[in-house]
Structure 1
Amino acid sequence: MKKEISFKVAIIPVLVTIVVMAITIVVLEKSPHIPLIVGTTVAALIAWRSGYKWREIEEAMYNGIRLALSAIVIIMLVGLTIGAWIGGGIVATMIYYGLKLLTPSLFLVSITIICVVVSLAIGSSWSTMGTIGVAGMGIGLSMGIPAPMVAGAIISGAYFGDKMSPLSDTTNLASGLTNTDLFVHIRHMLYTTIPGLLITLGVYAFLGRNFGKGSAETADIQQTLEVLQDHFLISPFLLLIPLLVIVLVAKKVPAIPALIVGIILGFLSQVFVQGDSVSDAVGALQSGFVIDTGNKMVDDLFNRGGLESMMYTVSMTIVAMTFGGVLEHTGMLQAIVNQILKLAKTAKGLVASTIFSCVATNATCSEQYISIVIPSRMYASAYMEKGLHSKNLSRALEDGGTLTSVFFPWNTCGVFILGTLGVHAFDYAPYAVLNFIVPIISILYALTGFTIEKLPESEMLAQTKEQEASLNA
């Protein structure tokens, strides 16, 4: 017979994972895979001791993995895209014109704004990072800007649109789960996200003030331009390929077919524009593009991509979602969130608790969507009981869930960024300013009551009746 798992027991696998993770990453300097497997094993043993049959525990693991299957497919396609676009000269062309047009001192601000515009148009942080982000890394590194700074700026811009675009899946998920009108939800998020963006741009302007002042940096940029011209056919017409992919996604073509179009066009560009053999183009898709220019920075930047480069990311996603699946489907995560909910005595505490719960879910379940889904289930009735409008909950879910997923190297977002931009979460974390400043602003608003809106009594009665009707149905 199954026993309800208490908070004290449910927290054990989480604590074990944190301790083993700290030792493995900080002391041994290894990847998070093994700590997550250890945490999954501890969680499975606890579930088994609590009366769950092994078949049920196994199914919980599979359920966790199923949630990430679409993400895994996109991760693999992004690997193919990077290989095809580097081989096809598309990335080289984007970097070439970027170096021509962008000023080093304003690069961090510029790339953030570009990613904001693109992500708002297409509603996807991953697609933005997998296209504009890859080129942005090349431009920034060519200008002598540290990779973590460049990655942080790209992530901040990409996640602005992921949070604010009406085309974004997380935006629609948060509004839908809380029964909040989509545009009411977006307008309410402006109060936290716009100040966050302004602060972010101010920080990047400050950080970038010293870049590009030296003649050595200018000479490095000129050398990079010459190397690109020597080894690739640079043409503005190649820019039509990423533009087409962005337009397709903006037109609500699903991400997978849109990326496939980009891969095919990149492959054809490598063969017919760059003049490489079909064998070389297939090799770029499978194991990544290979080049030897004699320029270490250019070689490091362009020797990458391909399906095989994403296998670390895919394996991390599977392991992380196995751990999250056991925690969720055996009730352990619910026990942890219930304990947090007990601490939220006031409306102010409720919003702050929601944000912390989203962050904790991102850390334990390793999936951005789960960090929105589970807290939305757990807190919906509590917001109604305290007379708070549902848009307070939907905003808290995005402030705490959507944005903080990037800070955990075992979260699907963290592993995707590592595979795509090549920078570890712990390295770019201090520079992903938007992603940590918005949750802070949101918590400050909650503690002061600013923009925390009460539900009109008429709407409260209507929602209560609607909830009762759904329960009786």
Structure 2
Amino acid sequence: MKAKQQEIEIPFLLALVPLVVMITVMAITIIVFEGSPHVPLAVGAIVAAIIAWRFGYKWETIEEGAYKGIRLALPAILIIIVVGMIIASWIGGGIIATMIYYGLQIITPSLFLMTICIICGIVALAIGSSWSTMGTIGVAGMGIGISMGIPAAMVAGAVISGSYFGDKMSPLSDTTNLAAGITNTNLFEHIKHMLYTTVPGLIIALIVYFFLGRQFAGSAIDQGNIEAILAALDSNFLISPWLLLVPGAIIVLVAFKVPALPALIIGVFLGFMCQIFVQGGNVGDSVNTLHDGYAIVSGNEMVDELFNRGGIASMMFTVSLTIFAMVLGGILEQTGMLRAIVKQILKVAKTAGSLIAATIVSAFFTNATASEQYISILIPGRMYARAYQDQGLHSKNLSRALEDGGTLTSPFVPWNTCGVFILATLAVHPFAYAPYAVLNYTVPIIGIIMGLVGYKVQFLTKEEMDQLKTNQRRVDNENELVDGV
């Protein structure tokens, strides 16, 4: 039965139909109705199932493809849930407040663009969210920068570069966990591999901001917004440099190659204990924080927006979106539609470098068409997974390319959810801040160049290839048993 099913080939143009329908519905849903991407993904999955059924695929085969897609996402889903808990516990324990408190105090007028980029990077690294960083520290930075006579587009570009650097490199980030999970890459191996493209991009951005900022060196700075945030943090949390030992402990665990999930669970436990014994919370509130997120009414709107977040419940949007996307991806893969699409692309992308370049460009194209950065990671991630294996490339090459092309390019598309959010939050159009969001366009370029020249492109060892083939045979055998039933 399985052999006959695999012999059915769906033509390339028909294989594109589910994606075209999904992208069209996605654009209408997000841009016109300001809705979520879940329903468009479901519509795309339904169209894919109908086409596969019309070509002779049995419903059991289509259904198994959907389930297989979900199973592939389970490790990522589990880590995403734990990330929600660690964000909540670190906020409740005062750890994130301490990091922000000390970070804000390094602002200097002569180096404002560099400084706001670094601060946004620190905050986003701590909380794992570029949106929350831009919506709080970024808004404050816009007010301060504009009051110094710096053009709003420049300030917005520096805020975006820093926020996306921290988001991309944070083990708490949903997109970072998504890229690692969807490609079956160790989270910290993924982050380490991204250093080769992201750190040079940050250095280039900081150099640009240094030279741009020199013309504003004599401007005076209005410390009112910063002082208000510092006062709110000081009155609502016990701020202590000792709390920085918690993220330090996670760094040590990572250095000793402790797997991501246990390391993050230890981080949850430490944050939970800090909320009780350092911040003076009770056990009941601390337990509820892990599920519902931290709740605070500080009297400062920006502080409230930044710290009212986290918890298991806050991650259900991302979890459900991942499930819907993986159902679509699973059906497309099981019925050979992804294979038909990738086969056309691989006629051009025949080398490791061209495959990495194709991944980065595809992720950007998905951002521009599907209008959602999560989709720019999920769909290309499933499309190219087998091609990377066939060329003997380590999965962390794919996960890095997905982030370089997907996560970082989303702010440049005005109708993408990220572009819409930034326009509403920072009041600067994407076309205006695009030249100054230096990190966001240099990193994809660096990623493509490094791929084409073969620098820091990691190939699988013979042992890893043998293990991968063994695992693939086991999966194929399991699928044969399921189809036989």
Report if TM-score (shorter chain) is over 0.5.
yes
Structure 1 residue 156, shift from structure 2 partner: 2.9
Post-superposition CA distance 1:408-445 (Å, at most 9, x none): 69xxxx999x9xxxx99x98995764454343356578
Corresponding position of 2:164? 155
1-structure distance, mates of 2:254, 2:449 = 35
Corresponding position of 1:106? 114
Post-superposition CA distance 1:264-295 (Å, at most 9, x none): 11111111211122222122111111111211
Q: Does 1:60 align with 2:61?
A: no
Task: Supply the AA of the counterpart residue of 2:114.
Answer: L
2-structure distance, mates of 1:309, 1:61 = 25
Corresponding position of 2:480? none
Q: Is the contact between residue 88 and residue 269 of structure 1 (CA under 8 Å) also seen in structure 2?
A: yes
Corresponding position of 2:387? 375
Instruction: Report the TM-score, using the length of structure 2 for normalisation.
Output: 0.69
Structure 1 residue 404, shift from structure 2 partner: 1.9
1-structure distance, mates of 2:65, 2:353 = 34
Q: Is the contact between residue 10 and residue 336 of structure 1 (CA under 8 Å) also seen in structure 2?
A: yes
Structure 1 residue 375, shift from structure 2 partner: 3.1
Match of residue 33, structure 2, among 28, 39, 44: 28
- Comparing 393-402 with 245-254, greater Cα deviation is found at 393-402
Q: From the superposition, tell whether residues 367 and 67 of structure 1 become closer, same or farther in structure 2 (CA, over 3 Å).
A: farther
1-structure distance, mates of 2:355, 2:396 = 13
Q: From the superposition, tell whether residues 79 and 364 of structure 1 become closer, same or farther in structure 2 (CA, over 3 Å).
A: closer
Q: How does 1:413-428 map to 2 (within 5 A)?
A: none
Post-superposition CA distance 1:86-115 (Å, at most 9, x none): 111111111111112344432244358869
Q: From the superposition, tell whether residues 255 and 147 of structure 1 become closer, same or farther in structure 2 (CA, over 3 Å).
A: farther
SS of 1:68's partner is helix
Q: Is the contact between residue 381 and residue 399 of structure 2 (CA under 8 Å) also seen in structure 1?
A: no
Corresponding position of 1:263? 268
2-structure distance, mates of 1:322, 1:198 = 39
Give me the identity figure in percent.
46
Post-superposition CA distance 1:48-93 (Å, at most 9, x none): 1122111111111111111211111111111111111111111111
- Comparing 106-115 with 295-304, greater Cα deviation is found at 106-115
Match of residue 15, structure 1, among 20, 23, 40: 20
Q: How does 1:193-342 map to 2 (within 5 A)?
A: 196-205=201-210, 213=219, 215-216=221-222, 218-342=223-347
1-structure distance, mates of 2:19, 2:161 = 28
Structure 1 residue 338, shift from structure 2 partner: 1.2
SS of 2:298's partner is coil
Post-superposition CA distance 1:240-265 (Å, at most 9, x none): 11111121122211111111111111
Q: Is the contact between residue 108 and residue 208 of structure 1 (CA under 8 Å) also seen in structure 2?
A: no
1-structure distance, mates of 2:307, 2:198 = 34
Q: Is the contact between residue 143 and residue 212 of structure 1 (CA under 8 Å) also seen in structure 2?
A: no
Structure 1 residue 333, shift from structure 2 partner: 0.9
Q: Is the contact between residue 30 and residue 37 of structure 2 (CA under 8 Å) also seen in structure 1?
A: yes
Post-superposition CA distance 1:350-382 (Å, at most 9, x none): 77546545666885771675365233246x3xx
SS of 1:101's partner is coil
Structure 1 residue 202, shift from structure 2 partner: 3.8
Match of residue 451, structure 1, among 453, 463, 476: 453
Q: Is the contact between residue 233 and residue 273 of structure 1 (CA under 8 Å) also seen in structure 2?
A: yes
Post-superposition CA distance 1:309-340 (Å, at most 9, x none): 11111111111111111112211111011112
Q: Is the contact between residue 133 and residue 306 of structure 2 (CA under 8 Å) also seen in structure 1?
A: no
What is the CA RMSD across the aligned residues, in angstroms?
Answer: 4.7
Q: From the superposition, tell whether residues 242 and 438 of structure 1 become closer, same or farther in structure 2 (CA, over 3 Å).
A: closer
Corresponding position of 2:370? none
1-structure distance, mates of 2:450, 2:93 = 48
Corresponding position of 1:80? 85
Task: Supply the AA of the counterpart residue of 1:374.
Answer: R
